[in-house]
Structure 1
């Protein structure tokens, strides 16, 4: 097993990784920016290194500073968490060429899945269902208009190098496409340094379902069930649950088999997620993208399958077998995760500030993965995620009842927060029925 681990991230995910590392007797090393010096993950690490000012480009995305921190502390491995450098293939290559262990998939797999058009084509070749769309980037507006005419409106206009719900627009007709194409292309060039655009069929009523995969050290790829991620705002997730209330045993079998084929197609190792769109009217699903990293919502899978996914990541990176029998995986119960963000619960606009009160709920089946505590400051430099409230139980109904109690008990004063939104959601008939889709939040507003 790896003996020392540098966590190239911050907040709740850094704290989460450090917790498992220390349980396993691994020396945990944190890196932090000047803005995060007082956060819990810094204090909880065995060693912490300041890597720069608040600007992520000068700290958490500063490859030179992170590698220098690894060298100065004698770190054996680097875990990137999610976001920042986690899906940067060049960083993964640099880590490994520096003689360090990269806790994640190989750089070639990251590269293959990082371009949405290339990923679509690879998946189609592997027999994974893909939505009707372009097989090459729409080189210009005329090409985009021609592609949309062949696909049929409405269409989704997507940045080929995008991710995390960013760089997407919907066009109901040619006039809207002309506007969205220019908008997405400009955004993609600014954010990703790549203006390539994909045109894909848009499904107005759809569910977002993903499958957790794990590429083992012996070369096998396995699937650890699905997660429902349809409660979203601006194409970004707010709530995830496992198993999905929309997925029957027969559909689950198809989902998991497709996800395994997707991983095998790129020789996948370590943890990853195959994201799909599910048409609830037909039970057809289509490949959306593969996230080549640990997901924010991994705890719901941990509860249902009784595993620690960070530990399994570390074991794969160390060349070790998993802690469980891959041929005897049995899901049990249900789990729901709610993302506690520093944002207005109505319009979902960021609301950073000093945390004057922070009281986490407790009780059976309640877990809080937090990045902050009372007295900390939520700054505007990073994502608004403050914590994840994860509830587990024997059934979905039991989980929802526990979630209502936990949400009512979660006290946060200072920054704006979306806890009131979850109280509203947990009383929403559409959500309670389980028959919801990605439009549920807009219908609530």
Structure 2
């Protein structure tokens, strides 16, 4: 490829950032790890250049990969990532390579370390639950912790509610830390956060020159941790800026002040907030300097006509993104399609799902033969994801309930932990023509 061809260095396989680059005549050089080949679901688009790095979250691994492939000699226009775990790496890498990027190296830790993050937001005077850092759960010192009744234990730099638990008191905390150690949970440094009841909201948007340029607000059908603890998948709704003007008015100042406290000057963000059931006020939860998952990019594009991937690459280069929202009147919701414990062997086709009322977008992520454990591990688990629309929020919810039930009725999963007799009964119920009982040759099975 010619050296004068505009190019950008992208760490992580964000399809929205890659698409935005290609639409703007920029060749994305995509640093990816083993998961691209191991998982086999996402393919690099035509025009993108792949660079394999054993660990894209390691600056050493990325620099070595750039040197091996000769990409280190290219003049990239900017460096960008939407990979939560690579954020600090990319911020440091931008300094080494002298490339513009959205999140500066002195700011990036505020968006990865949840204890640092809450300390910064609390110092700005916002409502934030108390938190305590636990440096090493393998060597917990209970005497160093303040008393608490109910708290949330999570990796200090985690994502997706993975390895996150509600603990009630010190005794349960000690037991949970011991269980994590037995399970071989890779993280050692955790944060213990005050449990905040109430609705969980999300705020997604764009900041440039320290000013909030776009804001979308939504809510989860139930809080993320509640869903994971109950082995349920996530369901999300977008608020309407006119119909739900009060929600936007409540969220905007909190989001603005939180981002200012965290130091984000430009970039996209995904923020979690909780609405107190007693006062109705918003409590800061956490914030990531990236686009949100769960088809949030699709929902924002559908509802507002705003491409968050486009905004992300523009902010990375230091160019103000052109954001001209066009709000559609329809309500929109996204959801994960739930799986069941066992081996996945069948589900409805894309065409069948698309034919259902209100389905705007669908993707099926899990292949046949995938084995699902007994519990939901994080907020990203599901057979696939769907975006629904409707004339009203009530219609969207009705369609969401119907789709959830309809899909589950057609989901075929070999049950986990079943005995041979139970498996035979299951096979007979699902494929009666294939089931066979033990027979002798006493009587011919067919007439000759």
In structure 1, C-alpha distance between the alignment counterparts of 2:345 and 2:53, rounded to whole Å: 21
Structure possessing the higher radius of gyration over alpha carbons: 2
The C-alpha deviation readout for 1:154-176, integer Å capped at 9, x for no partner, is 22233333332134322223422
2:186 aligned to which of 191, 196, 199: 191
- Counterpart secondary structure, 1:215: strand
The structural deviation recorded for 1:272 is 0.9
Distance in 2 (alpha carbons) for counterparts of 1:304 and 1:77: 29
Q: Which residue of 2 aligns with 1:295?
A: 292
| Higher relative contact order structure (alpha carbons within 8 Å, sequence separation ≥ 6) | 1
Aligned partner of 2:261 among 257, 265, 276: 265
Q: Which residue of 2 aligns with 1:368?
A: 361
Could you tell me how far apart the structure 2 residues matched to 1:379 and 1:35 are?
18
Cross-structure match for 1:336:
333
| 1:27-106 matches, cutoff 5 A | 27-31=27-31, 36-37=36-37, 39=40, 41-42=42-43, 44-49=45-50, 51=52, 62-64=61-63, 67-68=66-67, 70-71=71-72, 75-85=76-86, 87=87, 89-102=88-101, 104-106=102-104
Q: Kindly state the Cα deviation for residue 289 of structure 1 after the two structures are TM-superposed.
A: 1.1
1:283 and 2:264 equivalent?
no
SS at match of 1:392: strand
Q: What is the CA-CA distance between 1:60 and the residue it aligns to?
A: 12
| Alpha-carbon displacement from aligned partner over 1:44-76 (angstroms, at most 9, x marks no partner) | 2313435167xx679999423554454377654
Aligned residues of 1:159 and 1:167 also touching (Cα < 8 A)? yes
Q: How does 1:96-245 map to 2 (within 5 A)?
A: 96-102=95-101, 104-134=102-132, 140-144=141-145, 147-148=146-147, 151=148, 153-183=149-179, 186=181, 191-192=186-187, 194-195=188-189, 197-203=190-196, 205-216=197-208, 218-229=209-220, 230=222, 232=224, 233-234=227-228, 238-243=234-239
Q: CA RMSD in A?
A: 4.6
Say whether the 8 Å CA contact 2:53–2:62 is kept in structure 1: no
SS of 1:320's partner is: coil
Match of 1:440 in 2: none
The unaligned stretches of length 5 or more in structure 1 are: 418-445
CA distance in 1, matches of 2:280, 2:245: 12
How big is the shift at 1:365? Answer: 5.6
Which whole-Å CA distance do the structure 2 matches of 1:294 and 1:17 have between them? 10
Q: Secondary structure at the match of 1:44?
A: coil
Equivalent in the alignment of 2:339: 345
The aligned counterpart of 1:423 is: none
How far off is 1:116 after superposition? 1.9
Give 1:126 shift: 1.3
- Per-residue CA deviations over 1:246-274 (Å, capped at 9, x if unaligned) read x9643532222111101112331201122
Q: Number of paired residues? A: 389
Distance 1:394 1:234, change over 3 A: same
2:31, 2:65 → 1: CA distance? 7
Which residue of structure 1 aligns with residue 24 of structure 2?
24
TM-score, structure 2 as length reference = 0.69
DSSP-derived class of the 1:106 partner: coil
Distance change (3 Å), C-alpha of 1:43 and 1:314: closer
Cα distance in 1, alignment partners of residues 361 and 381 from structure 2: 16
